[in-house]
A and B are shown apart, each in its own frame.
Chain A
């Protein structure tokens, strides 16, 4: 990094040193740089040396939002705008990979992309952003910040393409319990305009897409019946598209032999391979008067046998059946 001269800058004094409470013992270096930074900011100097200074501070405290915002203002102000932003994108990539759980770095990148695209005359390919996001998700497949950025990018530029979905598929293939990937999958399914068809001037989900998605989910449940992510996804789809939850009775029974006649005769416990199947079954039973008794029995099994930590919740659901 080029050495700049800052000695001309008037540094406003930092904190009152009488205050001991939570006073951070900064290094001399940091104190000096922060002093220069305050001086530069107070006169709104947008310069190369100001830019260099923000980097020094960010390297020590990546969450310094004030400095990030100032850096953004410098970049926005600069001449040869597009070149600078492209350099900035390269620079911030490393900062992101070093601080993947930091709000500021990801948001800064979002500001840069908006800036670049809004003023750019050349066609910048925003899909290049996926390379960085993929890289960070391969490191930590549930990093909330990476997913937030991916969601924003996809939505902002309408990138509901197959490449996006195939990345999700690869993540789910390596870990079918990755709920972040399931959540993103839901987002793609619901928001991708290609998944809809026009009928009677109303936009409705394409039946083939829906069937394919339900099949995918059922396969995922088969792989790991106790995985709540896939059950939540399945129920989520049913609710979103107003499908009849009773259609899931067969699937639920597959993972809980609740209706096996021998069981009630011998008063045995049903064999269950998924608590979530039993829960869904209870919900289906609750919807009809003729099966309310079964629902109560299922909730009782959940409360006393299969899922005792939620005993209060199962009792609550069960009691609401008694009263109605």
Chain B
């Protein structure tokens, strides 16, 4: 606690007195209750907004980028200020006991509305309205986003709902089997976005990860691993080390990520399959430090995640990130994605915050923290505030991109993934990796998560706690590993 200066202590004291509440003990000799952290953070952010140190205030050259940015900032400030006001009301009127908010539970405005989100997600378990025809080629993705979200909210969701587990097996199993049975082994084209659709590596990722959630070994056994391997090697893999998404499809770093994650959990990776791949990924890093989808494209959160997670499937994070990219530039680019007023993350320089980057960029933090040996590189609590206060739909459930937008399954999933990364510290078990003989096929399974201490993060109420996410696979921890271990004992055929 030594690094927290007096000024900050005074500020906290001031904040608490403002809220009509002073703690009996010296603030920093004890662990603050979570709500106080949240308030402290928000007040610091709001104070910064109008302080002389906020240089952005001085900008007079208004261009579209800046007017868009101000618009979002204002919508966020409005929410934060309302929250601060309502919280101070609660304190003054003595609502609740203790910190004045512990009893709020899910009704507290700053808390995760778990039951509402569960309700929002459960709507998709029933048939979807015709507007979803636009996502006809992304059916495995819809299943993936929903089920991963459900598991983030409740680790035991599928155990408690075996009929849903069965539905996933049927739905995804049908898509997998259809392509398997309608084509000869030679013509096999991977798993598509729906029944009878051409194989697509992103659809394949979503399908395989969805099946991993089911823990149904009988269904896993039916996955045509040999055919998927041949398809990836012969149809998708390019000479330069990259992959394309599908036959005659586009080539970018998403395809690399999907191929490597699928290859990893099915335990079908080979040296030949990943020849030149790290080098190609390296060529996608831009002068800004992040990665583009292809060489020379702009650094972008989604592609940077795919690039970095892919490198971390080819070797240990410290080694790979030092060898195949400019790590200092990467770290700088990643931390630059977080904005002072919003606390949320953006996907590119001078673009707006969006909750999905809580995962695409937020989940890069574990790799970086391991590689540079620094415990926390981003402001976790500020990101949590953004997700919890700005991105929840409090009426119908679901999480959204930013204030004034509508929630959807995609943002619900990735905002929750981001929340999970805020709440956990990740370690890389080098000993385990050594024991595997530094086998790159095992490298994805050497990560260990532990909950972060209360003093590092706001809002560790039970209601706000979500399941651990695996930084490499982007799925709730444990499932990818179980599938990989299952296939370690099964011959490829």
A: residues with CB less than 8 A from B are 12, 14-16, 18-27, 30, 38, 60-66, 69, 72, 103, 107, 110-111, 141-142, 144, 147-148, 151-152, 155, 174-180, 183-184, 186-187, 191, 223-229, 232-233, 235-237, 239-240, 269, 272-275, 304-313, 315-316
Complex Cα distance, B65 from A228, in Å, reads 12
- Closest Cβ of chain A to B161, distance in Å, is 11
**B377 touching A316, Cβ below 8 Å:** yes
Stretch of B77-85, B90-98, B195-203, B314-322 with 4 or more beta carbons under 8 angstroms from chain A: B195-203
B174 within 8 A of A: yes
B259 within 8 A of A: no
Stretch of B136-144, B397-405, B411-419, B445-453 with 4 or more beta carbons under 8 angstroms from chain A: B136-144
B167 within 8 A of A: yes
> Are A147 and B298 CB-contacts (below 8 A) given A16-B174, A25-B130?
yes
- Closest Cβ of chain B to A111, distance in Å, is 7
Q: Which of A66, A224, A305 contacts B61 (CB 8 A)?
A: A224
> Are A23 and B288 CB-contacts (below 8 A) given A60-B133, A177-B65, A309-B340?
no
**B133 touching A228, Cβ below 8 Å:** no
**A22 touching B287, Cβ below 8 Å:** no
Q: List 8 A-B contacts (CB under 8 A).
A: A14-B195, A18-B170, A22-B142, A144-B300, A191-B296, A225-B55, A228-B350, A275-B55
Complex Cα distance, B297 from A26, in Å, reads 37
Closest 7 CB pairs of A and B: A236-B287, A177-B65, A21-B167, A183-B298, A175-B63, A66-B198, A179-B349
Q: Which of A174, A179, A316 contacts B374 (CB 8 A)?
A: A316
**A310 touching B379, Cβ below 8 Å:** yes
B274 within 8 A of A: no
> Are A21 and B164 CB-contacts (below 8 A) given A26-B130, A226-B59, A309-B338?
yes
CB under 8 Å from chain A, chain B span 140-167: 142-143, 146, 164, 167
**A69 touching B246, Cβ below 8 Å:** yes
**A226 touching B129, Cβ below 8 Å:** no
- Cβ contacts under 8 Å, B340 to chain A: 307-309
- Cβ contacts under 8 Å, A239 to chain B: 287, 329
- Closest Cβ of chain A to B177, distance in Å, is 10
Q: Which of A62, A64, A72, A306 contacts B53 (CB 8 A)?
A: A306
B382 within 8 A of A: yes
- Cβ contacts under 8 Å, A62 to chain B: 134
Complex Cα distance, B196 from A260, in Å, reads 71
Across the interface, name the chain A residue whose C-beta is closest to B174: A16
CB under 8 Å from chain A, chain B span 330-352: 331-332, 335-336, 338-340, 343, 348-351
Complex Cα distance, B333 from A235, in Å, reads 13
Across the interface, name the chain A residue whose C-beta is closest to B164: A21
Complex Cα distance, B249 from A223, in Å, reads 42
Q: Which of B45, B53, B248 contacts A305 (CB 8 A)?
A: B53
Complex Cα distance, B168 from A283, in Å, reads 52
| B residues contacting the other copy or chain, number (CB 8 A) | 85
- Closest Cβ of chain A to B246, distance in Å, is 6
* Extra inter-chain contacts (5) besides given A152-B294, A313-B335, CB under 8 Å: A26-B130, A26-B133, A65-B198, A107-B249, A306-B53
Complex Cα distance, B244 from A60, in Å, reads 25
> Are A15 and B195 CB-contacts (below 8 A) given A65-B246, A232-B287, A233-B287?
yes
**B379 touching A312, Cβ below 8 Å:** yes
Complex Cα distance, B286 from A186, in Å, reads 10
- Closest Cβ of chain B to A214, distance in Å, is 14
B14 within 8 A of A: no
**A151 touching B374, Cβ below 8 Å:** no
- Cβ contacts under 8 Å, A16 to chain B: 170, 174
**A69 touching B128, Cβ below 8 Å:** no
- Closest Cβ of chain A to B364, distance in Å, is 13
> Are A226 and B55 CB-contacts (below 8 A) given A24-B128, A307-B340, A309-B340?
yes
Across the interface, name the chain B residue whose C-beta is closest to A111: B248
- Closest Cβ of chain B to A176, distance in Å, is 6
- Cβ contacts under 8 Å, B130 to chain A: 24-27, 30
> Are A308 and B44 CB-contacts (below 8 A) given A24-B130, A66-B137, A179-B349?
yes
**B248 touching A155, Cβ below 8 Å:** no
Complex Cα distance, B56 from A226, in Å, reads 7
**A309 touching B379, Cβ below 8 Å:** yes
Stretch of B119-127, B221-229, B485-493 with 4 or more beta carbons under 8 angstroms from chain A: B119-127
**B55 touching A306, Cβ below 8 Å:** yes
B2 within 8 A of A: no
Across the interface, name the chain A residue whose C-beta is closest to B379: A309
Complex Cα distance, B246 from A14, in Å, reads 22
**A313 touching B377, Cβ below 8 Å:** yes
> Are A24 and B135 CB-contacts (below 8 A) given A69-B247, A305-B53, A312-B377?
yes
Complex Cα distance, B287 from A229, in Å, reads 11
Complex Cα distance, B193 from A141, in Å, reads 30
Across the interface, name the chain B residue whose C-beta is closest to A175: B63
**A224 touching B55, Cβ below 8 Å:** no
**B137 touching A179, Cβ below 8 Å:** no
**B55 touching A273, Cβ below 8 Å:** yes
- Closest Cβ of chain A to B348, distance in Å, is 6
